[in-house]
Amino acid sequence: MKKFLAILMLTLSTMAFAEGPQLGEQFEAVAQPISTDNPAKIEVMEIFWYGCIHCYQMETPMNTWAKKLPNDVYFKRVPGLPNPSWAPMAKAFYAMETLGVAEKLHTPLFEAIHKQKTLNPTDEKAAIDWVTKQSGLDKLKVEQAFKSFTINTSLNRAAIIFRNSGATGVPSLIIDGKYITSSTMAGGNDSALKVADFIIANVRSEKAAAAKK
């Protein structure tokens, strides 16, 4: 029975993509438009949480996909912040960026939580200790990064983005601040990236048409 349902879901997914992703099904308009960093290009924003196993599973396909983006598209990550329990990992993300160790520690942080299972993603003190140990930086410097005014500003912005996007979970992809899709909406990680490609192509056409007016 399970095998039959799996085949049925795959068939329905294939049929949907044969007709093209549909607004209201595989993707939605965001609740409120979100400003992008570079209006001259198409922004793809991933909203994620280090404590989310689905975000961890999305890492490999997402990284492969992002490396192949055309020149008029750029990718960025923003930590999801729907409630205070997610704040320690949002702080970790921004602190690692501030300290210049984000590229080095981004994947290891996911692995510490989901593979080694040695870190509680809701424990800020544990997150500070982990970043200190893995980065080799002075603990006071790491603590200051976690508690800086700049990070508080970034957290407020992340919370606004999550609310304005209309996201109901993570990982979610926001394309050009206008449309949202996710693994849940699209039917899997690979499908979500295909939907993102579809939206990017349409946004590109919209921008080209607007430029001619």
Q: What does the block give as tokens for 202?
A: 């349409």
Residues 111-125 have pLDDT tens digits of 999 999 999 999 999
**Domain ranges in the chain?**
21-212
DSSP 8-state code for residue 85: G
Fold designation for 21-212? Glutaredoxin (3.40.30)
Q: In what order do the strands lie in the sheet with 28-29?
A: 28-29, 179-182, 172-175, 42-48, 73-79
Rounded CA separation 102/94 (Å): 8
pLDDT in tens, 150-167: 999 999 999 999 999 999
Q: What global pTM score does this model have?
A: 0.88
